[in-house]
Structure 1
Amino acid sequence: MKHPKYVLPVIVISQFCCTSLWFAGNGVINDLAHSFGLDGDAMGHLTSAVQFGFIIGTLVFAVLAIADRYSPSKVFMVSAVLGAAFNLGVIWEGNDLSSLLILRFLTGFFLAGIYPVGMKIAADHYEKGLGKSLGFLVGALVVGTAFPHLLKDLTGAYPWKAVLMATSSLAVFGGLLMVLVVPDGPYRKEAQRTELSACVSVFKNKEFRAVAFGYFGHMWELYAFWAFVPIMLQKYGLSHSTANFNIPLLSFVIISMGGLACVLGGYMSEMVGTKRTAFIALFLSGACCLVSPMVFDSGSPSLFVGFLIFWGMVVIADSPLFSTLVAQNAPAELKGTALTIVNCIGFAITIVSIQGITAIMTITESNSLYVILAIGPILGLIALRKKISLPIPKGA
């Protein structure tokens, strides 16, 4: 079925604009700490607040089947406007840690109506080539997530509040663009009622369960890596006098290069298969976790940054592929609910890994602490290995 050529680019632009809300707090964390007297572990807590809000939001959206019962574009727009409003609330001078955590929680809650709903909109428009389409879409999420770091670098001469104002403005623009330009897709099948059992019933499918568990392993690593990229750069710079890093700019480059990896992974999946491509990416990112201590101890800043860029690419390359597999193995009328509940569980896992790394950092400065992130990819690979047929190398 043919679609207007503008549909996918508009979804991608809207997703980029709205997901810039995600790490808006991380982009100005040092300014928040200075302005509101926050402790050194505030970044981990503020990041987890967004994740926790997203979890509760996705749970509510999934249980009520909101993306399947109502126009996804309208859900996306309302969520974008409300998320932007709570993101902007961070600039209030009367904030303290408690109010900041609440505001970031509410921003995360309405991101649940943006990220998975954006994937639902794409799945409603593209049945064939969904992996490639979601590659562009998740690529937009990655660049949007990294964008606050670039904004911080570009607005260095302006007050830190400019970053929050810019990301909120982008989110409102993205929400309006989606609702005004993108109609409901031809493959959308509307759910007639709320099915509280749907969140459980989708897991009865063995294939669905395998790819969901692979996704959960991927999520254990992903957001912890993203959250601590600036910390990795800062620590390496302090440990090696030869390293003079522009941390906001490098953080943007390292995270945003994952957007390119998502697009390349989408094209690669059409040649070698979606599952196989996801397996390879998950294997490579797990390997990065395991070898990270050796690279972090190296005396070469170029090697260190190059390694982080590669890690930033493979850590996210499988994300759109897992989303594709989830959508393809869920009933058509529950596609939105399936994507949302899997996102909900996946992001719950990110809180555990982020808080775990935060806690470990208070008791040790060892560069080996990021090895713990390999747990997710290893378990994810085990889940996928039972359902994937990999080529046997010649001579084996």
Structure 2
Amino acid sequence: MDIEELLEKRVSRSVQIKLVLISSIYWSIVAAGVMVLSLTLPKIAQTYGLQSTTASLIASSTFFGMLTGALLSGNIADIIGRKPLIGILVSIISIFSALSGLKINFSTLLLVRFITGFGLGGLLPVVNAYLTEFSPKVVRGRLLVILEGSWAIGSIIIGIVAITLGKTNYSVTYFVFLLGLLTLVFLKFIPESIKFLLKKGRIDEAKKNLILLGIDYDGVIEIKKESVLRVPILNLFREKYLAITLMVFYVWFVISFSYYAFFTWLPRVISSLIGTEITKSINYTFTMLVMQLPGYLLGAYIIETIGRKKSLFISLLGTSIMAFFFATSRTPNHILINGSLLTIFCMSAWGIIYAYTPELYPTEFRATANGSAGALARVAGILAPIFISSQFKNLTFAISTLGVILVIGGILVLVIGRETKGKSIG
């Protein structure tokens, strides 16, 4: 039996839910690890006595670590497997996030944030590839957007911690990441990617892992294999994938650049636009973080309703339009309304591109594709905080520029993108 058919017919709904929930827990940890900077960076800058541009190095070092992690983890996962790497990366995130809360010298803090970023950036493409390889084609897009939607859950949880337990001492907000080590126990209850094992020729191991899916199958399992080049990343630029890869890379870059430009310095941006205090603007920031959840729900609905290309175009266009409105906001109500709508469309775009990308590439280099796209997103994450912090006196122009590059991304999706709704993946 073909592996696609076996997984489609024999994996129960309860097992699918278990895989989504466990994957979403790890995704939420990454979200919390990234968004904690938006909520604590102003306080860290005050504690260390830093100017905004210097303080941006904390965010940029984190994103540089995410870049390195995303680049390397995809290749590593395509060699050693998804499951063992997930455990390693979760451990890194938990331990080094907690260390970020200590009052250490600035240089050491930058190193700690780099290592934390390595774990954060590395975990995303591995978990994404893992869940993709178990998801039925009829609901694959929706499940992957739900996975990305757990980003909102992680953001909200760390936001609550920041404005309650960490209100007077930001260090507490980082110490709670040690709880992430407890989630490693979940790895005992999920299998390694069956497709990965089969394509590596580990047939007996694949059949043993099927038992964790509730499948007792001893027959022949068939899987289509794709020829691959010796250097994994070069597969993305073969003639068959070149145009798609360039489109994917651009869209990932602009979504990430826009997202981190909006959110890394969001309390300061809001303060600059409407002249409110940083402390009060953090409350606005938390409200916008909460609005990420309906954004992912929007993406989860439209991706299986109108397809990947149209849903991604609409989300990018909506983000662009709301960026223009947000840039011209001058009252608290306008900030909340325009910022919330901006967040909804932006998160919808994020969810859809995370679901769309792994569908465009085969198992042999799916994690490499995810990791490479994620690495480019981290380059954007490095540049975006510096860009915004240098434009506090000219925010309307800066945010309007983001709107333009988002529209270009939407057009590229319509022209170059390939529709994958309801189709099998290799």
Normalising TM by the smaller chain, what interval? 0.7 to 0.9
The Cα offsets for residues 275-314 of structure 1, whole Å up to 9 and x where unpaired, read as 11011000110112223332x23x4x22221111111111
Report the equivalent of 2:34: 22
Q: Give the alignment partner of residue 339 of structure 1, picking from 364, 370, 381.
A: 370
- Say what the alpha-carbon RMSD is for the aligned residues: 2.7
Report the equivalent of 2:82: 72
1:223 and 1:354 in contact (8 A); partners too: yes
Tell me if 1:155 matches 2:184. Answer: no
Q: 1:356 to 1:31 in 2, by over 3 A?
A: closer
Tell me if 1:387 matches 2:416. Answer: yes
Question: Which residue identity is paired with 2:231?
Answer: S
Mapped partners of 1:196, 1:187: distance in 2: 20
Question: Which residue identity is paired with 1:308?
Answer: G
Report the equivalent of 1:275: 309
Q: How does 1:109-148 map to 2 (within 5 A)?
A: 109-128=118-137, 129-148=139-158
Q: How does 1:264-303 map to 2 (within 5 A)?
A: 264-294=298-328, 296-297=329-330, 299=331, 301-303=332-334
Q: 1:7 to 1:234 in 2, by over 3 A?
A: same
The Cα offsets for residues 80-115 of structure 1, whole Å up to 9 and x where unpaired, read as 11122221222333322x222111111111113321
Mapped partners of 2:85, 2:278: distance in 1: 44
Q: CA deviation at 1:190?
A: 6.1
Q: Give the alignment partner of residue 115 of structure 2, picking from 99, 106, 112.
A: 106
Q: How does 1:221-260 map to 2 (within 5 A)?
A: 221-238=258-275, 246-260=280-294
Q: 1:22 to 1:191 in 2, by over 3 A?
A: farther
Mapped partners of 2:251, 2:46: distance in 1: 40
Mapped partners of 1:186, 1:33: distance in 2: 46
How many residue pairs get aligned? The number is 377
Percent identity between the two aligned chains: 17
Q: How does 1:40-79 map to 2 (within 5 A)?
A: 40-62=52-74, 65-79=75-89
Mapped partners of 1:355, 1:275: distance in 2: 31
Mapped partners of 1:384, 1:115: distance in 2: 22
Report the equivalent of 1:188: 196
Tell me if 1:169 matches 2:203. Answer: no
Question: Which residue identity is paired with 1:387?
Answer: I
Q: 1:142 to 1:50 in 2, by over 3 A?
A: farther
The Cα offsets for residues 161-206 of structure 1, whole Å up to 9 and x where unpaired, read as 211111x2233233x1442222223443566599663213213313
2:82 and 2:193 in contact (8 A); partners too: no
Report the equivalent of 1:89: 99
Q: CA deviation at 1:265?
A: 1.0
Q: CA deviation at 1:145?
A: 3.7
2:166 and 2:172 in contact (8 A); partners too: no
Question: Which residue identity is paired with 1:117?
Answer: V
Q: 1:149 to 1:247 in 2, by over 3 A?
A: farther
Question: Which residue identity is paired with 2:391?
Answer: I
2:101 and 2:173 in contact (8 A); partners too: no
Q: How does 1:317-396 map to 2 (within 5 A)?
A: 317-361=348-392, 364-387=393-416
Compute the TM-score of the two structures, normalised by the length of structure 1.
Answer: 0.86
Mapped partners of 1:386, 1:45: distance in 2: 37
SS in structure 2 at match of 1:28 = helix
Q: CA deviation at 1:55?
A: 0.5
Tell me if 1:179 matches 2:183. Answer: no
Report the equivalent of 2:212: none
Q: CA deviation at 1:212?
A: 3.6
Question: Which residue identity is paired with 1:73?
Answer: K
Q: CA deviation at 1:317?
A: 0.7
Q: CA deviation at 1:237?
A: 4.8
Mapped partners of 2:293, 2:59: distance in 1: 20
Question: Which residue identity is paired with 1:184?
Answer: E
Q: 1:178 to 1:213 in 2, by over 3 A?
A: farther
Report the equivalent of 1:315: 346
Q: CA deviation at 1:160?
A: 2.2
Which piece of structure 1 moves more, 284-293 or 130-139? 284-293
Mapped partners of 1:100, 1:116: distance in 2: 25
Q: CA deviation at 1:337?
A: 1.0
2:229 and 2:235 in contact (8 A); partners too: no
Report the equivalent of 1:393: none
Stretches of structure 2 that go unaligned for 5 or more consecutive residues are 1-7, 202-227, 420-426
Q: CA deviation at 1:221?
A: 0.9
1:131 and 1:320 in contact (8 A); partners too: no
2:268 and 2:278 in contact (8 A); partners too: no
Q: Give the alignment partner of residue 46 of structure 2, picking from 28, 34, 40.
A: 34
Q: CA deviation at 1:56?
A: 1.2
SS in structure 1 at match of 2:33 = coil
